[in-house]
Amino acid sequence: MHTIREKQRLLARVRRIRGQVEAIERALESEAGCETIMHQIAGVRGAIAGLTAEVIDDHIQTHLVDLEKHPGALNTAAAEELMAVIRTYLK
């Protein structure tokens, strides 16, 4: 969000996820095996986790500190550590 580049990046991710969900729909309709479908679902879950991480990162970078009023106030090393921990839980 917030910037056009960021918004385009998130939209691209969401459209890929939509494509993955449509593939599950087709697999179910064509009676694909359980295993195939379970893998496809796990793929969507992973993609959702990646999207979540990106939105959270964005939120931390742009909302936790109003950078116009408080330039330089966000400790970027601490923000990166935080994202590293969050990513561990998003897998």
- Which residues of the chain form contacts with a second copy (CB under 8 A)? 1, 7, 10-11, 14-15, 17-18, 21-22, 24-25, 28-29, 31-35, 37-38, 41-42, 44-45, 48-49, 51-52, 55-56, 58-60, 62-66, 69-70, 72-75, 78-79, 81-82, 85-86, 88-91
Is 24 within 8 Å of 42 (Cβ atoms)?
Answer: no
CB of 8 to a second copy, least distance (A): 9
CB of 60 to a second copy, least distance (A): 7
Positive/negative CA dihedral, 45, 46, 52, 55: negative
The residues, ordered by sequence, that sit 6+ positions from 90 with a Cβ below 8 Å of its Cβ are 49, 50, 52, 53
